[in-house]
Structure formats: C-alpha cells, structure tokens
C-alpha cells in the first residue's frame, strides 16, 4: 500500500445491471469489454485505430467518473495526440489506453499522492522508471487514477478528492491503494490499469472489484526496489489472466539488470499436479466470515476437480504474536518520512495542516519508537518471512481469502476513523495480504465467487519467491473452469 518512498523523497512538492451511460458512443461501448491484449491486436490489424481505442476510453471515463470518482487528473488531450502518431508506440500493447496510479510520476502531469499536501504540485519533469517500462510496452496514458494518501490505507477515500466508489455497490469501498485503477477497469472504462502493492494494494482492490490482481515477486519488475523492507511492487489490475500475464512479460527485468530468471509470456495452463494447502484463518488466527470461508472450501474442491491435491491447514507455520505491531512500526516509518519531507519542502506546520489523521498518527507512532525497538521489529518481520517461506518445502501454493469479508461500507476504514478503532479493523480485514510483501513472494487474487449481496469475493493464491509463472498457469486453469469475464457491476459502461 505505501508509495515508493525514495521517489517521493526525490520529487515531492508543497446491484442490478444498469443501462450504458447515454453519453458514451456506440464505438466506445463496443470496445468497453474487450481486454487489452485484444485491443492491441485490433489496432495492429487496423480493424480499429489507436485514436478510436483511446477516444472510447476517454468517453467512458467522462461518463462514469462523476459517479465513481476513479480519476484524479485527466491527460486526455495529450493522449489523443499520441494516438495520432502514424507509427504508434512500440511494444505488445501498442495504442492501448491506461491510467497511471497517482503515486508514480508521469512526465507533464502532477503527482499528488492522494494528498492535500500535493495540491500545488507542478507537472512531473520526467517519468518514473516504472512508468518508463509501461510506456515502452506501448500503453497510452489517459490520466492518473485515485489512491489513498501516500497509498497507506486499503481503501480509496482520500480527504483530498473524496471517496472512490465501488461499481458493484457505490456505498462500498473499492479497496486500496490501487482503488481508482480497479474501479476504472471493473466499470469498463479500461481493460487494465497500472497498480502497485505494498501490503495488498493490488490484491485488495482486485478482490473488492472482481478483477485479476497479481503481486509479483519483489525485484522482478522494472523500477521496483529490492531491499527486504521495500514492500511496494508494481504491476496492474485486469479483467483477464492473459492481460496480467502479458503485462508482466512486457515490464519485467529481462536484461543485464534482472535479478532472477524472467517469467516471459505465460499463455496457457500447465498440466503439473500441484500440492495446495488452504487456510480460512489469517496468520494471527482470525477466521474469515462464514460466506468467505465457504468460498475457500469451494475453491479447494474446484482445485481437486482439476487434478490438484488440496489439503486443509489449521494454522500458519510461524510465530505471528508480534506481526501486527511490527508491520505497523514499519508502516509508521513511511508516515515519518512523509511528514519530515513535507516539513522540509513546504515549511514548518504544513504537514500538520495538510496530512490526514491516519498519516499524522503513523508519524507520531514512529516518533515514540526507539531506534533499537524499530530495528528489532524489522528483524522479527524478516524472521516471520523466513518461517512463512518454509511452508513451500511442503506445498506448491497456499490458498486463502484476500479479505476476511467482501468489500466493507465506505467509512469503515477511512483515514479519519480514530486510530485505535482503525487498527483493530485493519488487523482483521486485511490480515491475509501483508505477509507476502514482507517475504517478497508472489501472490494473486482471482474473482472466483460472488457474495449473496452481489459483491465479489477474491481468492488468494500465493507461492514461493520467483514462482510467478506457477501462479499464472494455475490462474489460467481456474479462469477456464469458473469464468468471470461476463459479469458486469451495477455501474458500468
């Protein structure tokens, strides 16, 4: 969930189906529900133009953003100009539209980090490394997507721009911190969108909005940092497994700077029989709701029907007694860095006046922690990660829910909820996701089930460090066995 801190330090400154929106053209509606792989293929075959693909996305964004609030900064006119280039952009997604999450610099567009502290930010002077990789894949950005302040929370309700609303139920959270991206994709504005994950920020909005969300192995993607306390990684949220697989192949480190063997393009399932352990409790022992727990059981049965061995596990193989405290302390370090940077760049008192209550509380928490205690927290987290990764000596994949329940109402984990209450809620709601960020291992959310109230339920599949291919191959199997592509949320293009 947190932003790329070094980038900020360097650049920061002071429901039933609804009818299609009538302002969206027939062409825009026709293009709304094909994936990015097919969009790029149509452009290559000259069955549509890049201008038509981008123009349709812009039409849909204009029609749906007033209700859903997924976009913070449009870049429509420049996107239209780029789409007119006769040669187009290189790369497998040449001409396909995309949003860039507003934690990354897109040259010529302000980066505001979902914060009131960025209200006066000027246009970015250059693209971040992550964005450079996305542009090299051929994508045409049409703007910046909404995020909670500095990506800290698993809901997108920043005080700076107001809540981003879940298209399945606009009174529900869309997740975070890649919430704007997920809403744009789920509602049919775009086939996929850029996202980052530092504690669940790809998988949580994917689960809330009914999408595919892969958190890749730490250090695999261009621009991602590689230290053991660098939690955030970059990829996308999408509607199809093949889009996520192709996006990964197009932005992973594959040259001299690679840290591991590249995955390459995964285009089909494998026939390998997997040993899969499944749990309905998070590492602290909190159980998911009955409805979500039943979805885990049904997923295990589905895996068995596909030829895999699925084994129930009663508990996680690690001592998690200090995990919440330790992870919170690491999170608080991000709050301290944000606070100090704003005070340095914008002047004394500006952090207190512009930052949200949760961010201020994080900074204050870090101020109360002695350095030796902070280092002890980091050491325990690294130990927890080692214990967790030991599970893959016996299992290929671990299955859990993404969240302990479907998307919560807006306001439940908002940044102005009192800190003690908020931490208590977060501990149970998002208890499954952070461990893979500490361990650096890949983890994938798939929208396999719907709740009785008509909300998506995401199932999470996690694997050992470097085993991104294994998860994508399994995802192809599950997508074919239990397809989700025909689902439409209440608010859609």
- Per-residue burial over 147-175, b if 16 or more Cβ lie within 10 Å, else e, is bbbbbbbbbbbbbbbebbbbbbbbebbbb
Number of Cβ within a 10 Å radius of residue 77: 10
Q: At what angle do helices 50-68 and 36-44 cross, to 10 degrees?
A: 150
d(CA 277, CA 300): 9
**Are 463 and 396 a contacting pair, CB within 8 Å?**
yes
What does the chain come to in residues?
493
> Which residue of the set 117, 145, 193, 201 is catalytic?
201
**Are 313 and 279 a contacting pair, CB within 8 Å?**
yes
Handedness of CA 181, 186, 190, 191 (dihedral sign): positive
DSSP line for 240-264: SHHHHHHHHHHHB--STT-SS----
d(CA 184, CA 71): 8
Q: Is 101 a catalytic residue?
A: yes
Alpha helices in 84-202 (DSSP H): 129-136, 179-186
Question: Tokens standing for 28?
Answer: 């825009």
> Which residue of the set 177, 178, 238, 443 is catalytic?
177
Alpha helices in 97-173 (DSSP H): 129-136
**Are 140 and 94 a contacting pair, CB within 8 Å?**
no
Which residues are marked as active site? 101, 177, 201
């Amino acid at each position: 969930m947190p932003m790329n801190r070094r980038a900020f330090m360097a650049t920061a400154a002071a429901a039933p189906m609804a009818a299609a929106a009538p302002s969206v053209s027939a062409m825009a509606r026709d293009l709304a529900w094909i994936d990015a792989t097919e969009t790029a293929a149509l452009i290559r075959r000259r069955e549509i133009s890049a201008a038509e693909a981008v123009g349709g996305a812009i039409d849909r964004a204009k029609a749906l953003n007033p209700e859903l609030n997924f976009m913070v900064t449009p870049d429509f006119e420049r996107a239209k100009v780029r789409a007119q280039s006769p040669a187009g952009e290189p790369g497998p997604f040449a001409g396909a539209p995309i949003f860039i999450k507003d934690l990354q610099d897109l040259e010529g567009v302000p980066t505001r980090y979902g914060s009131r502290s960025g209200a006066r930010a000027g246009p970015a002077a250059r693209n971040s490394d992550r964005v450079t990789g996305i542009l090299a894949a051929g994508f045409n950005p049409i703007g910046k997507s909404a995020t909670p302040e500095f990506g800290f929370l698993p809901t997108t309700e920043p005080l700076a721009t107001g809540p981003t609303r879940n298209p399945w139920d606009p009174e529900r959270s869309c997740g975070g911190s890649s919430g704007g991206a997920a809403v744009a994709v789920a509602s049919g504005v775009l086939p996929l969108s850029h996202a980052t994950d530092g504690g669940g920020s790809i998988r949580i909005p994917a689960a809330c909005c009914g999408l595919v969300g892969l958190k890749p192995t730490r250090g695999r993607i261009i621009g991602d940092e590689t230290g053991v306390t660098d939690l955030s990684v970059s990829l996308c949220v999408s509607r199809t497994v093949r889009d996520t697989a192709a996006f990964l192949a197009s932005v992973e480190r594959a040259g001299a700077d690679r840290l591991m063997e590249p995955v390459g393009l995964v285009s089909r399932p494998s026939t390998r029989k997997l040993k899969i352990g499944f749990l309905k409790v998070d590492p602290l022992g909190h159980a998911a709701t009955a409805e979500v727990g039943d979805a885990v059981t049904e997923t295990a049965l589905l895996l068995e029907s596909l030829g895999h061995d699925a084994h129930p596990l009663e508990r996680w193989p690690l001592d998690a007694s200090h995990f919440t405290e330790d992870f919170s302390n690491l999170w608080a370090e991000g709050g301290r860095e944000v606070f100090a940077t704003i005070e340095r760049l914008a002047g004394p008192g500006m952090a207190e006046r512009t930052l949200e209550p949760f961010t201020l509380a994080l900074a204050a928490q870090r101020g109360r922690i002695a350095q030796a205690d902070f280092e002890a927290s980091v050491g325990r987290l690294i130990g927890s990660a080692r214990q967790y990764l030991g599970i893959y000596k016996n299992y290929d994949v671990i299955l859990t829910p993404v969240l302990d329940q479907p998307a919560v109402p807006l306001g439940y984990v908002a940044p102005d909820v009192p800190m003690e209450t908020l931490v208590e809620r977060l501990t149970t709601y998002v208890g499954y996701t952070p461990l893979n960020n500490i361990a650096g291992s890949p983890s994938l959310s798939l929208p396999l089930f719907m709740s009785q109230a008509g909300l998506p339920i995401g199932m999470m599949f996690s694997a050992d460090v470097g085993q991104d291919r294994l998860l994508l191959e399994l995802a192809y199997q599950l997508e074919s066995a239990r397809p989700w592509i025909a689902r439409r949320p209440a608010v859609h293009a």
